[in-house]
Every structure is written in C-alpha cells, then in structure tokens.
Amino acid sequence: MNVDALTGGFDRRDWQEQTETDDPVRFAMIGVGWWTTEQAMPAVDAGDLCETTVLVSSDREKAADVAAGSETVEHAITYEEFHDGVAGDAYDAVYIVTPNARHLPYVETAAELDKAILCEKPMEATIERAERMVEVCDEHDATLMIAYRMHTEPAVRRAKDLIEEGYIGEPLFVHGNMTEPILELVPDPDQWRLDGELSGGCAVMDIGIYPLNTSRFLLDADPVAVRGTVASVQEEFADVPDEHGAFQLDFPGHMYAVCTASQNAHLDSHISVLGTEGKVRVEPAFYPWDDRALQLSHEGTTVDIDFEQIDQMEEEFEYFAHCLLTDTELYADGEHGLVDIKTIKAVYEASETESTVTLE
C-alpha cells in the first residue's frame, strides 16, 4: 500500500474554485441558543464568504446582548418581526436552529422573502411538515440546504474518496454510533429534545441521523428497507420513544448499515465501512469539538491517514455561501433531508411493529 499516495493530494475543499468576494453572504440567525452563539457565529466570523448581520429570537433583550458583542450584527429582532419582514434588506440567507417542530414557519417566511435557507437537521419533526418545506421552497424557487456537517468534514470526505478509489474493494457493511449523556451536556429536564412534539423523536432523531446520513454519503446510496428497536427506560425520557435506539438499513446491492444512538450513554462517535478488501474508520467522527481520526486497513496493513483538522461549522457555512455566490447546485437539498425523515420514522414504525419497513 502506497502510504504517500494516501496522505498526499487530498483537497478538503475540492468543491471550491478560487472564490473571493467583497459582498459576503449576510446571515440572519434564527434562534440564539448556545449552538448559535458558541458554534455558528464564531464559524461565520472565521470564514471569508459570509457574515452574521441579523439575530432573531423570542427574547429581544437576549438577542441585543449577543449583538452587542458582534462587530457585524446590525439588527436584533423578534420572531414576530422576522415574519413581518423587519430588517429584510439586511440579510441574504437564514440559518434556522430552532427546535425541530418549529423549522417550517421560518422556512415559509424566508422563502416568501426570497432568502436562501440553511436549515439544521433533522429538517422537521414529521414527514408531512418536511414535505411542506420542500413544497414551499419549490413554489418560491428558494434555495434550501439541510445542514449536514459531515458532507464537508475532511475525514469523512477522504474516507469517501478511499472507498471510491477501491481501497476497501466492494463496500458491504457500515457500522456507525453516536451516543451522549444529554442531561449532563444540557442539564435541563424540560429541554425541547425530551419533548416528543417539539423534537419528533429523541436519540434516533437528534443524533442517530449522523450515522444514518453519513452512511448514505459514504455509500452514495439511499436505504430501501429498515429494521430497528428503540426504548426509553429512565423517567426523564418518558415523553419520547427513544432514549436508546439501534437500527439496520438495507441499501441496494446488498450493502447494509447498522447504527446505534443514545441520549443516555457514554459520549462516543464513530463510523466505519467494511469492504471485500479492507476497511475505513473515522473515530472520533461526529462531535465538532473532537479532533477526527481516519484509519485505513488494506492488504494486511493499517495506516492512519493525515488530513487537516478544521472547524466543521466554518466549512459548512463556507460551502453554502460558495454555492450561493457562484450559483452552484448544492448538495443536501430538501429532498435529500426528506429521505432521512422518512427513514427515521420507519425506524420507529419498525420498532413498534417488530417488522421490516420498506422505504418508497
């Protein structure tokens, strides 16, 4: 195995031609929680192609306090004012990071205001609302991208390259896991993730989507059938079906993925693809504060693959902005996100009925 060939020549931004702009994409951040203030806004500030100019919150004072610490934010407005079009001239795109079941209204308004939309995954709490998101964006010819960080994560992109270059032979099995002790990370028993109506689910919906969607990305395929089991054991998870979840995805060509997720377990994330001639593994994989690691096993040898560690959120925002500035078709549109919602709901159905659920 030629290690030099594996570690050299990888362009983490092969999606980007030389892009410079004096008019960066201006974002309105919808939802001003910790993810926005600690992850999204710093990532946008660090990039070259976008900036945050508007903050939208239920609490004007909170948004104004955050805005006071930013050199680029011009307006702090309420959700109602956003729907009324206030400060509409101050932004070009929205980043939606509200609870899952509250994504749709902001997508509808942004589409009507002719704004591009970057929406956190999962895209909505139900299939019907996710389908409506796609419909309204089609009606207004609005750009909609679902925010999957792994699509621009260098470790995952390099793993995909190695698979496509044949280093593992024909891919057969994917094993993926994402687990966390959510009540230690966010010590609030009343948080929206534990409210079934707001979240649409818990472990599989919130973090099981990472191994699910990354499996799709690495295999360049969509699942055709699902089996799964979910359970809520502790009292704090009584309002959601899945404190823990495990599910199998059947892909065309006799490829399979086994994924596990928990909101009440040791913090861990990894994904591996085993083929007829080798294996690639990313571990840690999904948490943005971890340094990712990529390993390839082939012909009896295992090597660690070098790549540049990056801020996952910065890459995601820069990719989205690049596509807007260059009028490039982007990956992970609403139809892509809809596949995940249908698959996750099939996991819940499979668990309830103890059967295999076929996906259309």
pLDDT tens per residue, the chain (360 residues)? 555 566 566 677 887 876 777 899 999 999 999 999 999 999 999 999 999 999 999 999 999 999 999 999 999 999 999 999 999 999 999 999 999 999 999 999 999 999 999 999 999 999 999 999 999 999 999 999 999 999 999 999 999 999 999 999 999 999 999 999 999 999 999 999 999 999 999 999 999 999 999 999 999 999 999 999 999 999 999 999 999 999 999 999 999 999 999 999 999 999 999 999 999 999 999 999 999 999 999 988 999 998 889 999 999 999 999 999 999 999 999 999 999 999 999 999 999 999 999 998
Last residue of a domain, one of 129, 149, 169: 149
- The range of the structural domain enclosing residue 233 comes to 150-309+331-358
Burial 53-85 (b: 16+ CB within 10 A, else e): bbbbbeebeebbebbeebebbebbbebeebbee
Same structural domain, 160 and 290: yes
Same structural domain, 205 and 138: no
Same structural domain, 168 and 73: no
Amino acid making up residue 22? D
Question: Closest Cα to residue 160, out of 16, 260, 14?
Answer: 14
What pairs with residue 145 in β-bridges? 118
Burial 122-151 (b: 16+ CB within 10 A, else e): bbbbbeebbbebbebbeebebbbbbbbbbb
Same structural domain, 196 and 336: yes
Any domain includes 319: no
Same structural domain, 345 and 280: yes
Same structural domain, 116 and 231: no
Helix and strand numbers, DSSP H then E, in the chain? 14, 15
Same structural domain, 157 and 144: no
What's 297's domain CATH number? 3.30.360.10
Any domain includes 346: yes
Q: What's the predicted TM-score (pTM) here?
A: 0.95
SS3 107: helix
Instruction: Give 63's contacts (C-beta < 8 A, 6+ positions apart).
Output: 32, 55, 56, 57, 76, 77, 78
Which parts of the chain fold into alpha helices (H)? 3-7, 34-35, 41-46, 60-68, 79-83, 103-112, 127-139, 154-164, 182-185, 196-199, 203, 209-219, 312-326, 334-353
Same structural domain, 166 and 107: no
Tally Cβ neighbours within 10 Å of residue 190.
7
Same structural domain, 119 and 252: no
Last residue of a domain, one of 149, 171, 200: 149
Any domain includes 14: no
**Most distant CA atoms of the chain, gap in Å:** 62
Instruction: Give 23's contacts (C-beta < 8 A, 6+ positions apart).
Output: none
Looking at the 3D structure of the chain, how many domains does it have?
2
Is-contact 57 81, C-beta < 8 A? no
Question: Closest Cα to residue 282, out of 273, 291, 294?
Answer: 294
Instruction: Give 173's contacts (C-beta < 8 A, 6+ positions apart).
Output: 255, 256, 257, 258, 273, 274
Any domain includes 7: no
Same structural domain, 113 and 194: no
Last residue of a domain, one of 149, 167, 198: 149
Same structural domain, 212 and 349: yes
Any domain includes 287: yes
Query: Cα-flanking dihedrals φ and ψ of residue 179, to 5°?
Result: -135, 155
